[in-house]
Amino acid sequence: MTFRSELTWEGMKASGLEADYHSSYEKAADDLLAMVRGGPMIYPNHIDGAPSLAQRTFEDVSPSDRDLVVGRFQRSSAEEVSCAIRSSRNTFLEWSRMDWGDRVRIFERAAELMRRDKFALAAAITLDNGKTRHEAVADVDEAIDFIDYYSEEMRRTDGFERTPGAAYPEEEVSLRLRPYGTWAVICPFNFPLAISAGMAAGALITGNTVVMKPSSDAPLPVHLFYEIMDRAGLPPGVLNVVAGSGGEAGDALVNSDAVDGIAFTGSLEVGRRLMRSSAESGRRIIAEMGSKNPVIVSGEADLEAATDGVAASAFLFSGQKCSACSRLYVHELVYGTFMAMLIERASRMTVGDPFDRETDIGPLITEQAMDNYLRWTEMAHRDGKLSLGGEPARTSGPRGLFAHPAIVESLPEEHYLMRRELFVPILCVQSYRTLQDAVVRANASEYGLTAGIFSSNETEVRYFLETIESGVVYANRRRGASTGAMVGSQSFAGWKSSGSTGMGTGSHHYLPQFMREQSRTVIRQ
């Protein structure tokens, strides 16, 4: 098979099927909301191929409607996590020895099931983390893309086996990448299907077994992913799912001596703790830990393209992306013009119920995120110039955590808001005189995930690409100045404190990170 990105919205729009796209999503959303409003469902853990109930549960509440309980999930204890780890370890030998082609075929069936259930999965994402329909469908598309791409990589590399030349004629030499064992997969709330499925698929398709812990803020998509893998024929016990808090279930999982590797997407603080622990234990860790992503708008930029690209990257999904544009450097010659355009564009973005067709920006994920937004915009008003936003968005719809895009100017370079990853829709803007100065300021961060520039000057673009310290860089990208990496096209690799390996997801470098090399030499008797 040849890998092709899903691109559901773009494909259906090009085929004149916009109405079918919207009706399919809206029917799925109506069905889901009717079920949820009938009373919260209880979602079990999944251990050794069977549903498992813990002694305690927690309620998962929709961020777009705080009166709506998505479901009750298990508050797993350390003992329950240990059972899941044991199940994964017990199934490792058989799963790892399965022909890699048979593993791939299971994942290809899973991808097809995701296609069939695409709009139902998207509606579940909207309900659980507040993504608008386009972003939710794109989340499902990305999950499918990860599975398809990693399946193709297994075929392209013949299961990561090759035969080099032998130094001695009597020797038969082969090189193989072999799985480590059992992996803990710690999932984020912001891409609860795409990133979660991508990490799990990377571990599983290469022959490892997995225990997944979904984010407590958006656990439903991981539960649905498990059901899809089960329907696709994944053997019992190969994938286990335990819900619960990071401080209890998460710590029990990542601190277990029976876990051979950890795949993590989340905060720098937690990522560093996991890396320190792994350095002491010798365990493999693949961590993506966010960023403080800069974008530069040159004096020779297409300002309309830059306006669209910056607004999309900074404010869609309320800035809750590790790739979101958070720092903006604008050349002093176009600063006034561009800022007027950006403020006008951001002020027109519709904030509200993510199920509504016309909504651009849905809710913040938690009450804490809203508190942070209000506290930090007050700080911005005190220490700089708050040009837009700073207050909750009032809507006529449900009781959700809605906030307007915020733009703050004239903060000092060392200000807290210029340095810290915020994960709310706040964009910090400064002017610059020379590109060299802008790049130096952009690089003056412990992070290095994504970055962008807008310029029609090829010399400026070349200089930016050669000097910026980020793993994912874009020039003149109107659809997203710093966001929107596509599987199989743009690898998603964090530099500096944004990643633990310097290698990206959605690229040919990803799967080998879940394996270790074995050289085999055989002399026939």
Residue whose entry in the numeric block shows the structure tokens 């950890």 = 262
Q: How many Cα neighbours within 13 Å face the side chain of 487?
A: 29
- Active-site residue identified among 288, 409, 421, 460: 288
322 catalytic? Reply is: yes
Please, what are the domains in the chain?
8-63+71-289 (3.40.605.10), 293-486 (3.40.309.10)
Please choose, from the candidates 205, 183, 187, the residue with its C-alpha nearest in 3D space to the C-alpha of residue 196.
Answer: 187
10-residue averages of pLDDT along the chain (525 residues): 91 98 98 95 97 97 96 98 98 98 98 98 98 98 98 97 92 96 98 98 98 98 98 98 96 95 94 87 92 98 98 98 98 98 98 96 97 97 97 82 97 96 98 98 97 98 98 98 96 94 94 97 92
Q: Tell me, what's the pLDDT at 456?
A: 98
3-state secondary structure of 378: helix
Q: Tell me, what's the pLDDT at 1?
A: 65
d(CA 27, CA 107): 27
- With beta carbons less than 8 A apart as the criterion, state whether 18 and 12 touch: yes
325 catalytic? Reply is: no
Q: DSSP assignment of 36-67, as one string?
A: HHT-PEEE-EEETTEEE--S-EEEEE-TT-TT
> pTM for the full model?
0.96
- The full length of the chain comes to 525
Q: Tell me, what's the pLDDT at 11?
A: 97
Residues contacting 136, CB < 8 A, separation 6+: 122, 123, 125, 126, 354
Residues contacting 450, CB < 8 A, separation 6+: 291, 293, 323, 470, 471, 472, 473, 474, 482, 483, 485
- Active-site residue identified among 83, 187, 322, 325: 322
Strands, sheet with 171-179, edge to edge from the N-terminal-most edge strand = 161-162, 171-179, 515-523
Q: Tell me, what's the pLDDT at 516?
A: 97
